[in-house]
Structures are given as structure tokens and as C-alpha cells.
Chains A and B, each alone.
Chain A
């Protein structure tokens, strides 16, 4: 058996432009959980046992190793380190059973970590989220350069995590670099 390494969406090096650092994060395994009809409460109980709390509307639960955020009524995205949880969807399915439909999402998204003092300025150029009002753990789905993305305000004040469509990872990175250059 070959010793294969999973490839990231882009594999680009971390870039620092002015005060802003843009890093592709290939270390996040993702899976979505969608409660089946009438099973939302059962899903919430299972998620609570995994995450410690159920992500509320527009919120993330930043928990280790699994974290999660609310996507829509009865729908959540769960993330965990790729190194230890590459089979995250299978792990969740085993716990949720028929209460939810679980879909592997690692192959669908590219994850960028954007940090730096000018991050709010960059965010204001890029998308329609009230970044200066957001607290740690706030999540909003939005549009960045016509791409549907999730913007997650992480624990550090100057850190956002952006989940965007993996097939358009290059376009999203271009948008981030352009905005970072503009505010640098």
C-alpha cells in the first residue's frame, strides 16, 4: 500500500500582507448533520454530548477536538482535526443513527484562517457581515465574490475562519489577497 498524503485544496504557503496573514488550513475535517423530520431534539442531545452544547442560531461551539456551528434550522456543520478525525462523518453517523443525515464535507470546502489587526477592514471590503459587532463564536453565512462562504469569528479578536467552496478555492484566495492588499 502506498503511503498517500491527502492533498489540500491549494497547498499554498501562508502569506502575510501588511498586518494580515492568510493561511490555508488543510487540517480540518468537516461533516454536516441534518436532522430528519421530527428528530431535531434527538440530534441536539447527541450533539450536546459531543460538543458540550448545541450551537445556537448563528453561533459556533468552539470545543476540542470536535467543534460545530449552526447552518440552518436542524442543520449543523461539525469540524475536527483531520489528523485524528478523518472519518468524522462515519463517527457522527454511528452516534446519530437514523435521527440525522450525515454528509462528509471535508472534500467540499476550503478553510482559510485570516488573522491580523486589519482583519475587520478586510472583512468589510469582502462581505456583508457585521464583523465589528461579532463576538467569539459568531458565525454568518455570506457571499464573498459570488461564493457562498461561512465566516466564523474565532476566539482571538483578530481571527476569522472562512469556509468557502473548495472548487473555487483559488478564486476565494485571490479575493482575500486583493482585499488584504487594499487595506495594507
Chain B
């Protein structure tokens, strides 16, 4: 599997480490009234789709960047690779 890194270009997936579902970026607020339920969901409940899935990958043997990779779990086709920092900022996180 080849991951097309936004800066470095196509790189072998062996250089990367899978770090989980990209929904981990959306950490719930600990101050909200339903925080306990939200954190239960955040920590334990995962979709396991046969198809397109947004995933976090860490470029361990490269520039150490975190990426959000949109990957088809059935075909291993990768349709989109973004920096996780850009994705988080687009959601209003981290000034």
C-alpha cells in the first residue's frame, strides 16, 4: 500500500504507523453535561466499516507528521491524504 504524503509524495505504508479512527481528533469537551457518555463513546465505540474509512496514520519513518488518510478498507484504495493538523484546524481546533 502506498500513501501519497502531502509533502513528501508517494511513500510505502511500512514507513507509517496506524493510529486509529480519525474521529479521535474530535475529543469531546470534558465540561459538557453529558461528558461521561460522550467519553464512553469516544474511547470505546468504533464503527468498523467495510468501505471508506478515515484513519490517522503517523509517518514514523519520515517527517513524523500525523495524517488523516481516507482509505477503502475493502480495496485498500486511498482517495485522500491530509495533514491531521489541517483537519483539526478546519474543525476550529488549535489557533
Contact = CB atoms under 8 A, between A and B. Distances in A.
B12 A141 contact: no
**Main DSSP-derived SS at the A contact region:** strand
A148 interface: yes
B63 A71 contact: yes
Interface string B34-76: 0000000000000000000000000011111100000000000
Nearest to B14: A128
A142 B63 contact: no
Interface in A19-59: 57-58
A73 B62 CA distance: 11
Contacts of B63: 71-73, 75, 141
B15 A73 contact: no
A143 interface: yes
B1 interface: no
Interface in A115-143: 128, 141-143
A114 to B, nearest CB: 19
Contacts of A73: 7, 63, 65
**Main DSSP-derived SS at the B contact region:** loop
Interface residues of B, number: 11
Contacts of A71: 63
Given A128-B12, A128-B14, A128-B15, A143 B61 contact: yes
Contact of B8 (A57, A75, A128, A143): A57
B15 A142 contact: yes
Contacts of B62: 141
Given A57-B7, A73-B63, A143-B14, 17 more contacts: A58-B7, A71-B63, A72-B63, A72-B64, A73-B7, A73-B65, A75-B63, A128-B12, A128-B14, A128-B15, A141-B61, A141-B62, A141-B63, A142-B61, A143-B61, A148-B60, A148-B61
Interface of A: 57-58, 71-73, 75, 128, 141-143, 148
25 contacts: A57-B7, A57-B8, A58-B7, A58-B8, A71-B63, A72-B63, A72-B64, A72-B65, A73-B7, A73-B63, A73-B65, A75-B63, A128-B12, A128-B14, A128-B15, A141-B61, A141-B62, A141-B63, A142-B15, A142-B61, A143-B14, A143-B15, A143-B61, A148-B60, A148-B61
Interface of B: 7-8, 12, 14-15, 60-65
